[in-house]
A = this chain, B = another copy of it.
Amino acid sequence: MQSKAGLDLKTYLAEKKVLIDQALEAYFPEPEGPASNLLKSMKYSLFAGGKRLRPILCLAGTEAVGGTESDSLPFACAIELIHTYSLIHDDLPVMDNDDLRRGKPTNHKVFGEAVALLAGDGLLTEAFNLMTTAQLTERVTSQAIIKVIGLLSRAAGYRGMVGGQVVDIQSEGKTVSFSHLEFIHTHKTGALIAASVTSGAVLGGGNESQLQAISAYGQKIGLAFQISDDILDIEGNSKTMGKTPGADKKRGKITYPSILGFAKSQEIQSGLVEAAIASLREFRHRAEPLRQIARYIIERKK
C-alpha cells in the first residue's frame, strides 16, 4: 500500500464518490410497474448531487484499519440511503418546509407530499435490505454485519438522528440552553456521521482499541460538521450552498453562532478538528484521508 502522506484529498473524494454513485446506480432497477413513481421519487433525491460524505467516511474508516473498500461498499451505500431519507422528511412542510435542496426543488415539490413521505420510508427500509447483501469474507463476518446494523439503526433512530430532529423542531423560536443545542447537533448530525466511519472500521476488521479511536474521531467531526453548517448558513450564498442562506435565523433555529458568536464557534470547531485528528495517532498513513477530511470540514464552502 502506497503512502498516503501526499494524498490529494480532492482526487480521493472524487474517486470515492464515483465508486459510490456507480454502486448506487447499479443497485436500483429501472422504475416500472404500478409503484414506479415511488422508485422515481427515491432515485430523484438519491441522485440529486449529494457529496457522499457519510459513505466516503465509511470507506475511509474501513481503509484506516487495513480493510479494502469492497468490505464496506454496500454499507456505505446504505448509509447514503438513510441520509437521503432524512433530508426528504426534513424538507417536508410539517418539518422545515424547504423548497430547495442542493439547488433543486425538494422531493415533495416534485412528487407531492404523500409520495415524498413514502419515498423517505422506502429509502430507510431499503437501507437495511442493502446491508444484508454484503459479501461475507474473512473480515466481513455475519457477526460484523449484525453489529453494524445495530450501530447504524441506533445512530439513525430515536437514540440518535431522529431524536435530534424532534428536539430541533421543538426548539424553533425558543430560547434554549447551550447543552440543549449541543444535544441537537450531536444527535441530529453527529450520530450518523460518527456511526458511518465507525461501521466502516468494524467491517474492515478493526480491533476494539481501533474502533474506540475511530468512534472518538467520528463524534468530533460530526459535531464540527454541524457547526460548519451553522456558520455556512450565515456566511454562504445560495449559489454555492444550493439553499437559501440565513434560513436558520429566519426560522428561529438556534445555532452555535447565535448562542456563542462567530469567533467562539470557529474556535470550538477548530478544537474539535484537532482533537479528531489526535484520536487517529495510532493509524499512521492509512488514516490520512480521515485526517484531511477533518480539515476539509472547516474549510468547505457548501
Contacts and interface: CB of A to CB of B under 8 A. Distances in A.
A185 B61 CA distance: 43
26 contacts: A35-B163, A35-B166, A35-B167, A35-B187, A37-B166, A38-B162, A38-B166, A42-B158, A89-B118, A94-B113, A94-B117, A95-B117, A115-B166, A120-B121, A121-B124, A122-B157, A122-B162, A122-B163, A125-B158, A126-B157, A127-B153, A128-B149, A128-B150, A128-B153, A129-B149, A132-B147
Contacts of A122: 157-158, 162-163
Interface of A: 33-35, 37-39, 42, 85, 89, 92, 94-95, 113-115, 117-118, 120-122, 124-129, 131-133, 141-143, 145-147, 149-150, 153-154, 156-158, 162-167, 169-170, 180, 183-184, 187
Identical chains in the assembly: 2
B114 A39 contact: no
Contact of A142 (B114, B121, B143): B143
A155 B278 CA distance: 44
